[in-house]
């Protein structure tokens, strides 16, 4: 299994595009510096929020922001900001950035490359003496992954006013450490979470670069992904209730086997998304069987469905069809069915103006583009509910992400930074 190393990055140094103001050696050096923090025995990275590892990588990143002259500050929950002052500071800012926390044993690029791309784009403008009309603000959001407290996309939700002090009291990690205690231990002020809220009207647009975490760009040999929407996940748990009986003494025609019903349901779920949208997906990733014995006919089986699309209407129509399918199967097999509605996050559509700006920057520089949805959630999904927001994707080798095998080549990193630099300047010049 290949994992991250600076030497591996530099193997493709000669293939990197020339980007004014951005040295690929600096990119490799900074990625490698962040990759020294939170290393796991498997060659991955674990940097949970409000831990020593996360603080270390944030301090490194703060130093880079300060070194290029950005005005740096942290808010009450640990979101880190660097401000590149524009010609008219009174105008709403263009914001850009991502996160530095990771999933357990994650990769070197998820989040970190987004933060670094924003930094390198701003640094390139400074080196070139380009000063945009609007201020550009770099944001490093805390706890995007939700890996420690199961409270993901946290920092951006705080910034947009979606979190109250009461909300913070609900969360603790696997060791029983509460979210508020972890925050206080590092000097933050959870009781003052409201002070971290930013007014939507003070943000002109938001732009985030991210690795694709999929195979489309690589398979189609495209360098830049233009995200047209960020899918909103909606979860439902379907519980089939039948009869728990002996596997040897119950004839096949007398069984009320919930595992068989669940199997039929799962196969049906796989076929439904394409009936509603090209971008719709539905996944069964969790099944609980009771009593889960080899020689027992299961009288209860829970199936959790994750349904997503970038258009809320088609996603919700798909969910209703999935529910109808479960009801049909239960009735046919003389089973009971219980349906529990879980989380439901609205999808976000990326404005055409931002998609067009990304396409123009890429195509002008001879880069192949592919428009595609983001099936994963990102900080841009939260900001996109309030302000025009867009995303630039760069390829992921073999589609790998959230693992030590996560990899994006140095030329692909540079291509993404080139596009970020041009789009950010264009947005900030409006």
- The percentage of residues in the chain with a pLDDT greater than 70, rounded to a whole number, is 100
- Omega within 30 of 0 (cis) for the link into 73: no
Task: Please check the confidence at residue 155 and state whether its pLDDT lies above 80.
Answer: yes
Q: What is the pLDDT of residue 124?
A: 98
Give me the mean pLDDT over the 76-97 stretch.
Answer: 98
Here the tokens at position 56 are 């270390």
Its pTM stands at 0.89
Residues 126 and 68: beta-carbon distance below 8 Å: yes
b or e along 87-123 (b: 16 or more beta carbons within 10 Å of the residue's beta carbon)? eeeebebbbbbbbbbbbebbbbbbbbbbbbbbbbbbb
Which DSSP string do the residues of 404-417 spell out, in sequence order?
TT----HHHHHHHH
Q: Which residues contact 203 (CB under 8 A, 6 or more apart)?
A: 92, 93, 94, 95, 383, 386, 387
CB atoms within 10 A of CB 387: 19
Report the 3 state secondary structure along 45-73: ECCCCCCHHHHHHHHHHHHHHHHCCCEEE
Residues 173 and 182: beta-carbon distance below 8 Å: yes
Q: Tens digit of pLDDT for each residue in 12-42?
A: 999 999 999 999 999 999 999 999 999 999 9
Helices (H), 197-337: 216-220, 258-271, 312-332
Q: What is the pLDDT of residue 199?
A: 98
Task: Please check the confidence at residue 1 and state whether its pLDDT lies above 80.
Answer: no
Q: Which 3 state secondary structure label does DSSP give 175?
A: coil
Question: Which one-letter DSSP state was computed for residue 17?
Answer: P
CA atoms within 13 A on the CB side of 359: 13
Q: Which residues contact 1 (CB under 8 A, 6 or more apart)?
A: 43, 404, 405
Q: What is the pLDDT of residue 376?
A: 87
What's CA 411's distance to the chain center, in Å? 22
Give the C-alpha separation, 184 to 402, whole Å: 28
Bridge partners, residue 38, by sequence: none
Q: What is the pLDDT of residue 343?
A: 82
Task: Please check the confidence at residue 4 and state whether its pLDDT lies above 90.
Answer: yes
CB atoms within 10 A of CB 346: 12
Task: Please check the confidence at residue 154 and state whether its pLDDT lies above 90.
Answer: yes
Q: Give the CA dihedral 395, 396, 401, 403, nearest 10 degrees.
A: -150
Q: Tens digit of pLDDT for each residue in 321-355?
A: 999 999 999 999 999 999 999 888 889 999 999 99
Q: Tens digit of pLDDT for each residue in 192-232?
A: 999 999 999 999 999 999 999 999 999 999 999 999 999 98
Q: Tens digit of pLDDT for each residue in 370-413?
A: 999 998 889 999 999 999 999 999 999 999 999 999 999 999 99
The CA distances from residue 20 to 103, 126, 419, in Å, are: 34, 11, 12
Give the C-alpha separation, 90 to 218, whole Å: 42
Domains of the chain, each with CATH number or no CATH: 6-230+347-428 (3.40.630.10), 232-344 (3.30.70.360)
Give the C-alpha separation, 62 to 81, whole Å: 9
Task: Please check the confidence at residue 104 and state whether its pLDDT lies above 90.
Answer: yes
Q: Tens digit of pLDDT for each residue in 167-191?
A: 999 999 999 999 999 999 999 999 9
Q: What is the pLDDT of residue 16?
A: 98
Which DSSP string do the residues of 246-282 spell out, in sequence order?
ETTTS-GGG---HHHHHHHHHHHHHHSGGGT-TT-EE
What's CA 111's distance to the chain center, in Å? 8
Beta strand 348-349 with 224-230 is: antiparallel
């Amino acid at each position: 299994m290949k994992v991250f190393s600076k030497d591996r990055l530099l193997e493709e140094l000669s293939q990197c595009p020339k980007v004014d103001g951005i040295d690929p050696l600096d990119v490799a050096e900074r990625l490698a510096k962040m990759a020294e923090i939170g290393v796991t025995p498997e060659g991955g990275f674990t940097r949970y929020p409000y831990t020593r590892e996360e603080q270390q990588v944030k301090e490194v990143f703060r130093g880079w922001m300060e070194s290029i002259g950005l005005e740096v500050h942290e808010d009450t929950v640990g979101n880190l900001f660097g401000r590149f002052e524009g010609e008219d500071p009174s105008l709403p800012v263009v914001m850009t950035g991502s996160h530095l926390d990771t999933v357990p044993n994650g990769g070197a690029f998820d989040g970190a490359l987004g933060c670094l791309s924003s930094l390198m784009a701003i640094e390139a403008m400074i080196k070139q003496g380009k000063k945009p009309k609007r201020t550009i603000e770099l944001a490093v959001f805390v706890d995007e992954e939700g890996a420690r407290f199961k409270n993901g996309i946290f920092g951006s939700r705080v910034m947009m006013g979606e979190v109250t002090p009461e909300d913070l009291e609900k969360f603790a990690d696997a060791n029983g450490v509460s979210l508020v205690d972890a925050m206080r231990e590092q000097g933050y002020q959870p009781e003052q979470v409201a002070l971290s809220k930013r007014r939507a009207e003070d943000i002109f647009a938001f732009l985030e670069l991210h690795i694709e975490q999929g195979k489309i760009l690589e398979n189609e040999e495209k360098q830049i992904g233009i995200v047209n929407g960020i899918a909103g996940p909606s979860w439902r748990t379907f519980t089939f209730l039948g009869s728990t009986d002996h596997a040897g003494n119950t004839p096949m025609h007398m069984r009320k086997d919930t595992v068989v019903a669940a199997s039929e349901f799962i196969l049906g779920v796989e076929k439904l998304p394409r009936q509603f949208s090209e971008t719709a997906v539905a996944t069964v990733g969790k099944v609980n069987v009771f009593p889960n014995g080899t020689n027992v006919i299961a009288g209860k089986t829970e199936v959790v469905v994750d349904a997503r699309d970038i258009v809320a209407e088609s996603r919700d129509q798909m969910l209703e069809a999935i529910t109808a399918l479960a009801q049909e199967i239960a009735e046919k097999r003389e089973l009971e069915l219980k349906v529990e509605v879980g989380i439901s996050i609205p999808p976000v559509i990326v404005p055409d103006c931002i998609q067009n700006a990304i396409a123009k920057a890429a195509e002008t520089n001879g880069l192949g583009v592919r428009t595609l949805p983001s099936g994963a959630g990102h900080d841009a999904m939260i900001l996109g509910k309030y302000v025009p927001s867009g995303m630039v994707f760069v390829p992921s080798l073999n589609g790998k992400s959230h693992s030590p095998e996560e990899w994006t080549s140095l030329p692909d990193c540079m291509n993404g930074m080139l596009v970020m630099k041009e789009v950010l300047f264009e947005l900030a010049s409006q």
